[in-house]
Amino acid sequence: MIISIDGVIVPRERATVSVFDRGFLYGDGLFEILRAWDGALPHLALHLDRLYGSAQELRMRVIDRAALIAHVTSTVAAAPAGDQRVRIIVTRGEGGIADRASSLGPGRTIVIAEPIGDLPREVSLATVEWPLPRRVGPSHKTLAYLDPLWARELAAAAGAGEALRLDADGNAAECATANIFVVAGSTVITPPLDGILPGITRARVLAACAANAISCVERSIPRDDLRTADEIFVTSAIRGVVPVTSLDGQARAAGPLTERLAGWINARPAI
């Protein structure tokens, strides 16, 4: 594992932040996770677009983009050969709860690169009673991450590898650490962005569908539509497109459209 803080690579035992940093105290920070393919970062720009978009909306001061890119690339370059999971973290910096957010920072900038182990070729889902709050517009990838972590814990207790969370109306919304898609006939369906994370791989799937004349719509997915769907798959930056082969203990088959999309999205990029 290679760790850098504010552009300086440090050993694991010295990778620390102040207990007064609002990222530690309140989860007041942002993070991104992406894959490095033998040192190459083909999707870094997409992840930074999301990070800086969230920072602007949340009035979080962050180091400039060129400096952050330099931190990421130098950290990945110091990692051993092979594919790496790269985590980028930016915090608000030190400050009290009464301080105006826009008056603080920039805080700490942390990059962690660690080898990717074997990735799952399929996933089991359990619907958990941990709904997303009602919200207009997409959510942000913040350090306040207890909700997804607890959803995963509930899924693990149910014997599943991933949690399916519902929205306030009881529709399938997103997984703890992934976006959800269903296939009905020849149409790919995924929930709209209200209240969920605008996943980078989610966007790549939508683009792949558009480029290949595959019908794809964004609409609410009632729970009954999950049960009758021809295919279900999830997406994330590290795993790519992964078929769901079990939903709430009921076996499901991976389907041809999921396999086709996985072939495009999961393919090793030309480096």
176-219: pLDDT as tens digits = 999 999 999 999 999 999 999 999 999 999 999 999 999 999 99
User: What pLDDT does residue 112 have?
Assistant: 98
pLDDT at 91 over 90: yes
Q: Is residue 270 domain-resident?
A: no
The helix or strand, by DSSP H or E, that contains position 225, with its residue range, turns out to be: helix 223-228
Determine the Cα–Cα distance for residues 176 and 124; give it in Å rounded to an integer: 13
Yes or no: say if 265 and 208 are a contact pair by the CB < 8 Å rule: yes
pTM of whole model > 0.75?
yes
Task: Grade residue 134 by pLDDT with cuts at 50, 70 and 90.
Answer: confident
Query: Residue 107: its pLDDT value, please?
Result: 97
Does residue 60 carry a pLDDT above 80? yes
Confidence of residue 137 (pLDDT cuts 50, 70, 90): confident
- CA–CA distance, 79 with 83 (Å, rounded to integer): 9
Note down the domain range covering 6: 2-115
**Domain-embedded: residue 271:** no
**11 within some domain:** yes
Residue where one domain finishes, among candidates 115, 137, 158: 115
Average confidence (pLDDT) over 137-162: 95
Same domain for 145 and 220? Answer: yes
- Residues whose CB falls within 8 Å of the CB of residue 33, separated by 6 or more in sequence, listed in order: 85, 86, 87, 88, 237, 238
Same domain, 164 and 237: yes
Residue 8 has pLDDT above 90, yes or no: yes
Contact criterion met (CB below 8 Å) for 30 and 90: yes
Give 94-104 pLDDT, tens digit per residue. 999 999 998 99
Give the Cα separation of 21 and 157 in Å (integer): 33
Q: Mean pLDDT score of the chain, rounded to an integer?
A: 96
Rounded average pLDDT over 212-233 = 96
At 136 the pLDDT is 81
**Same-domain check for residues 131 and 257:** yes
Question: In the prediction, which pLDDT does 206 show?
Answer: 98
Is the pLDDT reported for residue 170 higher than 90? Answer: yes
- Which residue, 92, 115, 138, sits at the end of a domain? 115
Grade residue 172 by pLDDT with cuts at 50, 70 and 90. Answer: very high
Clarify whether residues 128 and 238 are in a common domain.
yes
Instruction: Rounding to the nearest 10 degrees, give the CA dihedral for residues 232, 237, 239, 242.
Output: 10
Report the share of the chain in percent with pLDDT over 90.
Answer: 94
pLDDT in tens, 12-44: 999 999 999 999 999 999 999 999 999 999 999
CA nearest 1: which of 111, 107, 145, 141?
111
Give the model's pLDDT for residue 199.
Answer: 97
Residue that finishes a domain, picked among 69, 93, 115? 115
Q: What is the CATH number of the domain that holds 91?
A: 3.30.470.10
Q: Does the pLDDT of residue 270 top 90, yes or no? A: no
- The pLDDT > 70 percentage for the chain reads 100
Do 234 and 120 touch, CB atoms closer than 8 A?
no
Q: In terms of pLDDT, which residue wins out, 131 or 214?
A: 214
| The pLDDT value given to residue 135 | 84
